[in-house]
Amino acid sequence: MSTAVILMNLGTPAEPTARGVRQFLGDFLSDPRVVEIPRPLWLAILYGLVLPLRPGKIAPAYREIWGRSADGEAVEGSPILHYTRRQAELLQQRLADTRPDITVTYAMTYGKPSLDSVVHRLRRQGYESFLVFPLYPQYSATTTAAIYDRVAQIYRNSRDVPDISLVHDYYRHPHYIRALAASVRELWDRKGQADKLLLSFHGIPRANVTKGDPYYRQCHETAEHLAAELGLGGDRWQVSFQSRFGKAEWLQPYTDKTLIEWGEKGLSSVDVLCPAFSADCLETLEEISVENRANFIDAGGGQYRYIPALNIRPDHIEMLATIVGEKLPAKPRR
């Protein structure tokens, strides 16, 4: 049986223009998994206010990050698409000797290439079994469950249903924790430790957790495992949550407010890591590396260092290969 692994991330506008951002946000924000307020009310807000106004404000930020990485190196187009494509290519190379029976590719939940188009293309090529691998270490209904919905849609529209399985989460997988720790240590080895390590996770509405979403708990477990791996005491690190949207309460403490408070207290240095992001994107390259850097320094803080996402680090690719091996054990040879 031919098997394909499909790495999945959130997605990106096709181009850094108001038109491209509008198309992407229309797809993204119309998903009931992403925004859970009553549909008639939300769709009126989305099409009456958000889509007419927000794309023009966000497009300049996309243009700023288009074609670059956190370390200043050039990438091809959208960073998140570039890194997801490269992760698939490098994972394919890593598995070539040990698992030549597996083909690796990638898809996006929103935008292109879609999971539906990738699965149907592979089916035409003769693939019968699929492992869908969401690149979200911590599970949330707003992210991973949206991919489950895409898988269900494929099942619902197919008479000859393929064999599809998913990676649910890997928020405390030892290889993931060690890769995060290595990325922090590499900075410390070069430039020394900052006074604080801020672990900034993408936020979700507080109500989602009240309804049973495990994301908040898993973020804290990731942070605790990472702090233990780094040997950090509780006064040297903190969890925060970024990227809130709308007027509802989101998970706290908020990243921007935390950094402003630390700046006002005169904190001399801070390192910021975003463990929930497997690839650098708008939320890390602009919101964290640029916007929140300014928040901290303008409030009176000292040195600010953003630690890039795991992206295409060899230990990250090794982690992906390990999890694939756990989910798709090799068949014994006869």
CB 298 within 8 A of CB 262: no
Q: What would the pLDDT profile of 234-254 be if each residue is shown by its tens digit?
A: 999 999 999 998 889 999 999
Is 332 part of a structural domain of the chain? Answer: no
CB 271 within 8 A of CB 184: yes
Q: What percent of the chain has pLDDT over 90?
A: 91
> Across residues 62-71, what is the average pLDDT?
91
Is 182 part of a structural domain of the chain? Answer: yes
CB 90 within 8 A of CB 13: no
**Which of 15, 33, 9, 3 lies closest to 107, judged by CA?**
9
Is 333 part of a structural domain of the chain? Answer: no
Q: Above 90 in pLDDT, residue 158? A: no
Q: Assign 219 a pLDDT band (cuts: 50, 70, 90).
A: very high
Is 123 part of a structural domain of the chain? Answer: yes
Q: Assign 73 a pLDDT band (cuts: 50, 70, 90).
A: confident
Q: Assign 136 a pLDDT band (cuts: 50, 70, 90).
A: very high
Q: Read off the pTM.
A: 0.95
Cα 273 to Cα 138, 172, 298, 312, distances in angstroms:
15, 16, 20, 16
> Domain containing 82: what range?
3-170+314-327
95 & 244 share domain:
no
Is 115 part of a structural domain of the chain? Answer: yes
Q: Is 63 helix (H, G, I), strand (E, B) or coil?
A: helix
107 & 20 share domain:
yes
Residue 153 CB neighbours (<10 A): 12
**Which of 57, 92, 64 lies closest to 78, judged by CA?**
64
224, burial (CB in 10 Å: exposed 0-12, middle 13-18, buried 19+): middle
Domain count of the fold of the chain: 2
Q: Is 79 left (phi over 0), alpha (psi -120 to 50) or beta?
A: alpha
25 & 161 share domain:
yes
> 């694939």: which residue's tokens?
324
Give the CATH number of the domain where residue 97 resides: 3.40.50.1400
195 & 285 share domain:
yes
Q: Is 102 helix (H, G, I), strand (E, B) or coil?
A: strand
Distance from C-alpha of 243 to C-alpha of 259, rounded to nearest angstrom:
14
Check whether 168 is labelled as a binding-site residue. no
Check whether 283 is labelled as a binding-site residue. yes
> Across residues 217-238, what is the average pLDDT?
97
Q: Above 80 in pLDDT, residue 137? A: yes
21 & 142 share domain:
yes
80 & 203 share domain:
no
Is 127 part of a structural domain of the chain? Answer: yes
pLDDT for 329 equals: 85
> Across residues 67-83, what is the average pLDDT?
89
pLDDT for 173 equals: 98
pLDDT for 1 equals: 64
